[in-house]
Amino acid sequence: MATTKLYLDTRGKGDNDPAPLKVCITNHGKSTYISLEVKLPKSQWDAEKQKVKNAPNGKLLSSYINNKKLQIDNAILDLSTKGELKGLTVIQIREKIQEYINPSVKDENLFLSRFKRFGESRAAERTKEIYATTFKKITEFDRYASSLSFEQITKEWLSNFDTFLKGQGLVKNSRNIHLRNIRAVFNDAIDNEITTHYPMRKFDINPEETEKRSLSIAELRKLFSCRVEKWQERYLDYFKLTFFLIGINPVDLCSCTEENIKDGRLIYKRHKTGRMYSIKVEDEAIDIINKYKGKKLLVNFTEHMTTYHTFVGKANKAYKKIGDIIKVENKEKTAHNRKFSYHIQYKPFFPKLSIYWARHTWATIAFSIGIPEEIIAEALGHSHGNRTTAIYIDKSVVNIDAANRKVLDYVLYKEQPKDNPLEAPCEPIK
């Protein structure tokens, strides 16, 4: 029969650091643990006598610990008497005990249940959506996923899941997003002492090199000056606006209203990070905003669409048709083309162009004209947002404003940057 013992898990802890107290369950030389949700420094635990010492509220704490251990011991005795522990691994015994004590724990601590709750607890809506997609992929891959314990998610399971995603046409970096989500849930489960199992240790989810996602200065000038068809004009203007606003993410731009414009600045909370962000709205951006002024939103690109994703999809298709237009003669009359003597073919300048290239292009051009890397990072929101609010705009914002102006002048008006591209005042601006 399985045996139990109280165990203070001081691994990685200093003598004065609170460490979790657990019940160690041993069966046939193998051990596992159930947390008692109690933490004690080493000085307050007598390992030999298995009891609390010199702790505040020691009697009350001891009573709680003893009752918890008694519950586990009684569960082992009852389950053993019924023969329900025979042939089980120590991990399976632990799960049986937990279910016996609290019948709801079985479902709550299963891998997929915790995955769903973890994803739904994320702050950013886009992050929630990505976790929901991973959840769907897992259920598509494994029809028994809802009953899997953490221990059943093995290296082999992960490898097969990766192969499944690859079969759906996902490239490695896209597959890694789903695998990193799984890893995050495992880390959370370990932190909460739901499992000690960690299959990610032996599974490679390193990213692969991505293709170029930015335009050169010459290519960007070519794009901006390109004569496009009327239906493509709004999509090109959207790309320009995104670039003029330092590569603002579509979900952020498409969520802004006039209230986000204050004192000539676009001030908003980034969906990805939840941080406040501030961009000076240059004249070139104002022209486009006025051209596409929305009734409810700042710009009307997505006002008649269910989500911004629809617009982004249409925009990316439009970009891939910007280029030379070739009229091809229709040699045979069909029901489709009988009214036309020719049909249109597109020879795109940038076949892989998407709206997200605007952000990368801004950063690439800024670097090429001497903007310091730390300012580029802040301009892209990597560290800038945690210091900026709608009320106080510090020196870093002034530097970002100057950087953006230098980029726009160089791209649009071919103004060569000075040796020192940024000359910002030292005093904060309010």
User: What proportion of the chain, given as a percentage, has pLDDT over 90?
Assistant: 48
Per-residue pLDDT tens digits for 337-386: 555 565 667 788 988 899 999 999 999 999 999 898 888 988 887 644 33
Residue with tokens 């010459």: 218
In 3D, which of 165, 155, 157 has the Cα closest to residue 198? 155
pLDDT(143) > 80 = yes
One domain for residues 400 and 267: yes
One domain for residues 186 and 251: no
In a domain? residue 346: no
One domain for residues 186 and 240: no
One domain for residues 156 and 243: no
Give the whole-angstrom CA distance, residue 200 versus residue 396: 39
Stretch 328-341: mean pLDDT: 59
Stretch 251-275: mean pLDDT: 90
The predicted pLDDT at position 172 comes to 85
- Residue ending a domain, choose from 51, 71, 105: 105
One domain for residues 125 and 259: no
Please state the separation of Cα 163 from the chain's center in Å: 22
In a domain? residue 129: yes
Give the whole-angstrom CA distance, residue 88 versus residue 66: 26
One domain for residues 147 and 237: no
One domain for residues 96 and 125: no
One domain for residues 95 and 183: no
In a domain? residue 347: no
Per-residue pLDDT tens digits for 277-329: 899 999 999 999 999 999 999 999 998 888 888 999 999 999 988 987 776 66
In a domain? residue 287: yes
User: What proportion of the chain, given as a percentage, has pLDDT over 70?
Assistant: 86
One domain for residues 165 and 240: no
The predicted pLDDT at position 298 comes to 95
In 3D, which of 310, 309, 299, 311 has the Cα closest to residue 260? 299
One domain for residues 150 and 246: no
DSSP state, residue 420: S
Stretch 77-92: mean pLDDT: 89
One domain for residues 98 and 131: no
Total tally of structural domains belonging to the chain = 3
One domain for residues 100 and 117: no
- Residue ending a domain, choose from 105, 122, 145: 105
Per-residue pLDDT tens digits for 215-237: 999 999 999 998 888 999 999 99
Give the whole-angstrom CA distance, residue 159 versus residue 142: 13
In a domain? residue 139: yes
Please state the separation of Cα 290 from the chain's center in Å: 33
- Structural domain for 21, as ranges: 3-105
Which ranges of 245-332 does DSSP label H, i.e. alpha helix? 250-253, 283-291, 308-319
In 3D, which of 23, 9, 7 has the Cα closest to residue 74? 23
Per-residue pLDDT tens digits for 16-36: 888 889 999 999 888 888 888
Give the whole-angstrom CA distance, residue 50 versus residue 57: 17
In a domain? residue 251: yes
In a domain? residue 33: yes
pTM: 0.52
Q: How confident is the model at residue 426 (pLDDT cuts 50, 70, 90)?
A: very low
Task: Report the CATH number that the domain containing residue 375 is assigned in CATH.
Answer: 1.10.443.10
Q: What are phi and psi of 18, to 5 degrees?
A: -60, 130
Per-residue pLDDT tens digits for 186-212: 998 887 777 888 898 878 787 665 566
DSSP state, residue 146: G
Give the whole-angstrom CA distance, residue 391 versus residue 412: 31
In 3D, which of 254, 273, 361 has the Cα closest to residue 314? 254
- Residue ending a domain, choose from 85, 105, 125: 105
In a domain? residue 209: no
